[in-house]
Amino acid sequence: MAILVTGGAGYIGSHTVAELLERGEEVVVIDNLLTGHREALLGGKLYEGDLRDKELLAKLFSENNIEAVIHFAASSLVGESMKDPVKYYDNNVYGTQCLLEAMQKAGVDKIVFSSTAATYGEPEKVPIEETDRTEPANVYGETKLTMERMMSWFDKVLGIKYVALRYFNAAGAHASGKIGEDHRPESHLIPLVLQTALKQRESIAVFGDDYPTEDGTCVRDYIHVSDLADAHVRAVSYLRSGNDSNVFNLGNGLGFSVKQVIETAKKVTGLEIPVVIQERRAGDPAVLVASSAKARSVLGWNPQHADLENIIQSAWNWHSANPQGYGE
């Protein structure tokens, strides 16, 4: 039996495919390759296309014996979601509806789903726990919360069990050096900082250094992409064991400040990284850190690369060897 990975050619998707292959799982991928990269797939059987293509989905489920689904395929740019809500409802909510419909028809009853800590919005407290208020501050977070709620109804009504994993910032790259992070456009801090070290960018902007944090810059939660991949695979095992649907945060527990990231990148690369301090951006909370106590205790998740230097070193191995990412 195979595991279907939607968005398996994307950043976290491709690392999860790698993890599944290492464990001897049979892997089927569906990816429209609009933001994913064919080169990021280290194996598995690829269906190039979209979740909203119901015929393709039906074909995929009929040609493969799918046991469980890991669902990454989604649009995930916060800024874009606040300009084009239709795109986010269509890709994320309607796409998930099509996927669940195909699962229902094929009798597949397990899905692990990459949600986001953006479902919480402005946090009530840090670290954020799974039972805290969910009040998304952007359309991206809203569509992911809608997907979670939809899954809870497909569970209640049809018995499709799900695990939603909520996290903030994936970072780092695979130990093999073969795959890593390549978003176009890039909006994530660590690749931007490393591109600055590589002189692909003149400087890195820091938005506000007067926050009530130790060094005045925002504190965020970075998780190594291989630790995220491991959590997704653990969540599949959790459902295989007959457990009920559940929601887990994945976080590093402490968080790192923007200055810490830049200082660590300087140390790892040995290169200069010019910084420009700018105004605070609207809607940026001082600290966003998730508690992962529940994932640690229930899934037995124990991040192996929680150290910032370790995360940035692995990202640097990829970026310095692949300054153009996956190329043209």
- Helix, strand or coil for residue 83? coil
Candidate list 23, 38, 133, 149; residue touching a second copy; CB under 8 A? 149
Candidate list 39, 53, 67, 90; residue touching a second copy; CB under 8 A? 90
Cβ distance 278 to 207 under 8 Å? Answer: yes
Using CA atoms, how far apart are residues 220 and 236, in angstroms rounded to an integer?
A: 27
Candidate list 158, 175, 277, 321; residue touching a second copy; CB under 8 A? 158
Question: Contacts with a second copy in 187-216 (CB under 8 A)?
Answer: none
Residue 292: φ, ψ to 5°: -110, 25
Q: What is the dihedral of CA 284, 213, 181, 292, to 10 degrees?
A: -90
- Helix, strand or coil for residue 148? helix
Assess 85 for contact with a second copy (CB under 8 A): yes
Comparing C-alpha atoms, which of 58, 249, 270, 269 is closest to residue 168?
A: 249
Using CA atoms, how far apart are residues 93 and 29, in angstroms rounded to an integer?
A: 19
Cβ distance 254 to 305 under 8 Å? Answer: no
Assess 146 for contact with a second copy (CB under 8 A): yes
Question: Contacts with a second copy in 122-141 (CB under 8 A)?
Answer: 139
Task: Return the range that interacts with a second copy (CB under 8 A); candidates 25-33, 84-92, 162-170, 231-239.
Answer: 84-92
Candidate list 39, 53, 89, 260; residue touching a second copy; CB under 8 A? 89
Q: Which of 11, 47, 88, 140 does the annotation list as catalytic? A: 140
Angle of CA points 107, 113, 117, to nearest 5°: 155
Question: CB of 76: closest distance to a second copy in angstroms?
Answer: 16
Task: Return the range that interacts with a second copy (CB under 8 A); candidates 87-95, 179-187, 244-252, 292-300.
Answer: 87-95
Task: Return the range that interacts with a second copy (CB under 8 A); candidates 90-98, 162-170, 197-205, 267-275.
Answer: 90-98
Candidate list 33, 58, 93, 271; residue touching a second copy; CB under 8 A? 93
Alpha helices in the chain (DSSP H): 11-22, 54-63, 78-81, 85-88, 95-106, 139-158, 189-197, 225-240, 258-269, 293-294, 308-321
User: Does residue 140 carry a catalytic annotation?
Assistant: yes
Task: Output 53 or 90, the one with its CB closest to a second copy.
Answer: 90
Question: CB of 2: closest distance to a second copy in angstroms?
Answer: 23
Task: Say how many residues touch a second copy, by CB under 8 A.
Answer: 21
Please tell me the total number of residues recorded for the chain in this structure: 328
Candidate list 42, 150, 198, 205; residue touching a second copy; CB under 8 A? 150
Residue 152, burial from CB neighbour count under 10 angstroms (0-12, 13-18, 19+): middle
Candidate list 22, 133, 153, 159; residue touching a second copy; CB under 8 A? 153
Task: Return the range that interacts with a second copy (CB under 8 A); candidates 66-74, 95-103, 108-116, 268-276.
Answer: 95-103
Question: CB of 108: closest distance to a second copy in angstroms?
Answer: 14
Cβ distance 236 to 112 under 8 Å? Answer: yes
Assess 58 for contact with a second copy (CB under 8 A): no
**Tokens (6 digits) for 306:** 């929680």
Using CA atoms, how far apart are residues 107 and 160, in angstroms rounded to an integer?
A: 9
Chain residues that interact with a second copy, rule: CB under 8 A = 82-83, 85-86, 89-90, 93-94, 97, 100-101, 104, 139, 142, 146, 149-150, 153-154, 157-158
List, by residue number, the catalytic residues. 140
